[in-house]
A and B are shown apart, each in its own frame.
Chain A
C-alpha cells in the first residue's frame, strides 16, 4: 500500500495551521449552537433530549423551504435564517406541552426514552413532508467564495459562523447572568423544588426553556445547512456528536459546553491528521473516560 505521508512538512506551515484552526473553530461553533440547547434543557428539566438532532434537522429543512418560497433576493437567506429557528421552537413547544408535561413526575430516563421515540416520529414526518431527495441551501452570494488568510483560502461563510456563534454565546451569557429569567433558569438547575416553593411557575419555565433549546438547535441547523447536505439521516449524525460534546463539557454547564464544543470541533478537524485509524472511536472513548473519571464533565455540577 503506497502511503506517502505529506503530514510532517505541513505541521510547520503557519498559515495552513491557522486556517485549519479557524476551520475547526467554525465547526466547533456550529456544534456549540446545537449542543448548548441540549445542555440547557438537561440542566433545567433533567431530560436528555435525544430529539435534539431531529430539531437541528427540521431547522435545516425549514431553511430549504423558506429559501425556496421567499423571492430570490439576497435578503431571502437572512430572513430564512431568522425565521427557521422559530419554526423549530414552535415544534418544541408543541412537544413539550403536549407530551413532556404529561410525564414530568416520571423518572427522567423514561422521558429520555420518550425523546427517542420522537426521533423516529419526526424522522418519518420529515420524509413524508419533504420527500426522500437530498436538498441543499446555497450560501448567499456575498459569502459564497473565500477570503485569503495569511495567503491561504478560507471560506467566507465560515467567517459568518465564527462571528455569529460567539455573539449568540455572549447573548446567552447575558441572558443567564444578567436577566431575571436567566436567574430563574440557573436557580432551576440547582434546585427546582425550592423554586416552585418560592412561587415560580416552574411548568411554564420548563416550556420556555425547552422552546429556547429547540430554537438554538434550529438555528444551528439553519446556519449549518449551507455547509452540508440537507438529507435524511442528518439527525443521527449531529445527535451523537452533540451528545459527546455535552457529556464532556458537563450536562447543564453553559461554559463547559462552549469549551467542549470548541475542543471537539478542533479534534475533529485535526484528529484524522494525527490519529487516522482511531478517529471514529476516539470521541466515544473520550466520552467514556470522562464519564468514568469525572462524570459531571469538565465544568458540570456533581449530582448528589
Chain B
C-alpha cells in the first residue's frame, strides 16, 4: 500500500494530538475514529460493492453487546473480549447476509432493514440477557486504558490496524472481483466470478468490522443500549460515507470527522435545529453529487497501488 503525503501528515497529527488538545477533544477524536471505522466497513459494501444496507447498526450493536456481556457477565478482560466482537458480528452478518444478498437493490435494503429491526427488538425484549432498555452499564476499559489519552491511542491503534486490513482487502484480488461485480454482475459471472459468494463474503467482512467498531464504542461509552441497533443508527454510516465521499477509501473517515464536529457545534447551540440541519445536509449532498450512483463509483475514483 502506498502511503501518500496526506496520510503521513494525518498520522503525525493524530499521534501528537494528546499533547496539544484537551481531553474532551481527544474523546471526540476517539469517537470519530470509531465511527469512521464503522462507516468505512459500511462503505466496503456500498461504495466498493454497490450494495446499500439499511440494517448495519445490527452488527455494530452485536459487537457492542458482545463486548459488554463478556466483560460484565463473564468477567473477561477487555483485551480478550474485543477480538471476539468481530467474530460474533460476522456470524450475524453471515446468518442474515445469506438471505439478504440473494436480493438486489431496494429489496436488499429493505430486508437488511427488517433484520436490523428484528435484532433491535430481540435486544430490547430479552431483558434477562441484555438488560432490555436499561442497557448494560459500567462497561469501562481497565484502568490503564481509561484516561482519554490512553483510550484514544488504543482506539486509534485498533482502528488503524482495521483500516489497514480493509485497505488490503480492497486492493486484493477479492477486492477487484468485488468491484467487477459492482460494475457489471452479469459480465462478472461470465468470467467465472461467483457473484453471490463474493457479495456474501463482502457482507460478512463489512459486518465483522462494524462489530469491531461497536466493541470499541462500548468501552468508549461505558454502557450499551438497544438503540445501538435501531434503524436511525443504521443511517449514521450512510450519511457519514455520503458526506465524505463514497468513491474513495478515506472518504468515510473524512465524513466522520466533518459529521461529528458539525454535530457537536450545532447541537450545543441550537439543539432543536440539529435534525433540520442533518436532513438538509443529506438532501444537499445527494442533489449535489455529480453523477448517478454507479457512475459516481466510476473508474476514476479507485486508485491502484503504484499511483500517487
Interchain CB contact under 8 A, A291 and B103: yes
Task: Please indicate the chain B residues that have their CB under 8 angstroms from the CB of A46 in the complex.
Answer: 106
B176 lies within 8 A of chain A by Cβ: no
Tell me the residues in window 272-297 of chain B with beta carbons closer than 8 Å to chain A beta carbons: 272-273, 275-276, 278-283, 286-287, 289, 292-294
Known: A120-B282, A281-B121. A106 touches B293 (CB 8 A): yes
Chain B: CB-nearest residue to A106: B292
B107 lies within 8 A of chain A by Cβ: yes
A112 lies within 8 A of chain B by Cβ: yes
Interchain CB contact under 8 A, A118 and B283: yes
Of residues B111, B235, B278, B289, which shows the largest number of chain A Cβ atoms within 10 Å of its Cβ?
Answer: B111
**How many of B's residues come within 8 Å of A, CB to CB?**
37
Interchain CB contact under 8 A, A127 and B280: no
A288 to B210, CA, bound (A): 22
A232 to chain B, nearest CB (A): 11
Chain A: CB-nearest residue to B283: A117
A116 to B282, CA, bound (A): 8
Main secondary structure, interface of A, reads helix
Interchain CB contact under 8 A, B118 and A108: no
Task: Please indicate the chain A residues that have their CB under 8 angstroms from the CB of B238 in the complex.
Answer: 113
Interchain CB contact under 8 A, B276 and A125: yes
**How many of A's residues come within 8 Å of B, CB to CB?**
41
A105 to B102, CA, bound (A): 25
User: Which of B107, B111, B283, B286 is A121 in contact with, Cβ under 8 Å?
Assistant: B283
Tell me the residues in window 139-196 of chain A with beta carbons closer than 8 Å to chain B beta carbons: none
Interchain CB contact under 8 A, B293 and A107: yes
B119 to chain A, nearest CB (A): 10
B105 lies within 8 A of chain A by Cβ: yes
Task: Please indicate the chain B residues that have their CB under 8 angstroms from the CB of A102 in the complex.
Answer: 287
User: Which of B106, B114, B289 is A284 in contact with, Cβ under 8 Å?
Assistant: B114
User: Which of A117, A277, A295 is B103 in contact with, Cβ under 8 Å?
Assistant: A295
Interchain CB contact under 8 A, A112 and B275: no
Main secondary structure, interface of B, reads helix
B242 lies within 8 A of chain A by Cβ: yes
User: Which of A118, A243, A303 is B279 in contact with, Cβ under 8 Å?
Assistant: A118
A181 to chain B, nearest CB (A): 26
B153 lies within 8 A of chain A by Cβ: no
A109 lies within 8 A of chain B by Cβ: yes
Task: Please indicate the chain B residues that have their CB under 8 angstroms from the CB of A114 in the complex.
Answer: 282-283, 286-287
Of residues B103, B282, B283, B292, which shows the largest number of chain A Cβ atoms within 10 Å of its Cβ?
Answer: B283
B117 lies within 8 A of chain A by Cβ: yes
A1 lies within 8 A of chain B by Cβ: no
Interchain CB contact under 8 A, B283 and A284: no
Interface string of A234-247 (1 = CB under 8 A from B): 00000010010001
Interchain CB contact under 8 A, A120 and B111: no
Interchain CB contact under 8 A, A288 and B115: yes
Tell me the residues in window 245-274 of chain B with beta carbons closer than 8 Å to chain A beta carbons: 272-273
B167 lies within 8 A of chain A by Cβ: no
Chain B: CB-nearest residue to A280: B121
Interchain CB contact under 8 A, B272 and A109: no
A103 lies within 8 A of chain B by Cβ: yes
B52 lies within 8 A of chain A by Cβ: yes
A87 to chain B, nearest CB (A): 20
A227 lies within 8 A of chain B by Cβ: no
Excluding A109-B109, A124-B275, A291-B107, 19 further A-B contacts by CB distance (< 8 Å) are A102-B287, A108-B106, A109-B106, A110-B286, A113-B286, A114-B282, A114-B286, A116-B282, A117-B280, A121-B275, A121-B283, A281-B125, A284-B114, A288-B99, A288-B111, A291-B99, A291-B114, A292-B102, A292-B111
Q: Which 5 A-B pairs give the minimum distances between C-beta atoms?
A: A120-B279, A107-B293, A117-B282, A124-B276, A121-B279
28 residue pairs of the A-B complex, CB under 8 angstroms, read A99-B287, A106-B286, A107-B294, A109-B109, A110-B289, A110-B293, A111-B286, A112-B106, A113-B238, A113-B242, A116-B279, A117-B278, A117-B281, A117-B282, A121-B280, A124-B272, A124-B279, A125-B276, A128-B272, A240-B117, A243-B110, A247-B110, A281-B118, A285-B118, A287-B110, A291-B111, A292-B99, A295-B107
Binding site for A on B (CB under 8 A): 52, 99, 102-107, 109-111, 114-115, 117-118, 121-122, 125, 235, 238, 242, 272-273, 275-276, 278-283, 286-287, 289, 292-294
